Amino acid sequence: MPTLGARSIFNYAMLAVPAAAIVCALAGIALSLQRLAQRRESALDVVVVAGAYGIAATFAIHVFYSYGRYAATGWLMDAYPRYYLPLIVIVPLACLSLLAAIETPRRRNALLMFLVAGPVLFRIFGAPLGL
């Protein structure tokens, strides 16, 4: 969580939650791309792949624009990821794509528990105490 307060090692350890979600989302995107290539796609796969392309295009434009401003003015504040907030919904959708591919009930339930509890735990324990 953005804050000016001091962070503990526990706060930094909680960054493993979004990192794991991103890894799951990347696996889900890869599975959606594979299903799309094999013509076995669902509507979720189409949305996930379109969203992944949208994020990639936005990132490329953002880097090009931000670097241009930095080279011209030395301004570093364009690095804020405000452009990605509407596209961030692709992360849980891609995780659902991964979830749909898991056949073992125990692993499927473990991933589902992580997807539900992870954001809650991150919100509770990710910010320094007192904020």
Tokens of 107: 């692993």
Q: Where are the domains of the chain?
A: 13-124
pTM of the predicted model, to two decimals? 0.82
- The alpha-helical segments, DSSP class H, found in the chain are 9-13, 16-37, 43-73, 90-101, 105-125
Q: With contact defined as beta carbons under 8 Å apart, do 33 and 23 qualify?
A: no
- Nearest in space to 91 (alpha carbons), one of 69, 117, 119: 119
How far apart are alpha carbons 121 and 3 in whole angstroms?
17
What pLDDT is attached to residue 100? Answer: 94
What pLDDT is attached to residue 131? Answer: 46
Lowest mean pLDDT among 19-23, 80-84, 92-96: 80-84
Summarised one tens digit per residue, pLDDT across range 75-87 is: 777 766 677 778 8
Q: How many CB atoms lie within 10 A of CB 2?
A: 5
Summarised one tens digit per residue, pLDDT across range 23-73 is: 999 999 999 999 999 999 999 999 999 999 999 998 888 888 888 888 888
How far apart are alpha carbons 7 and 4 in whole angstroms?
9
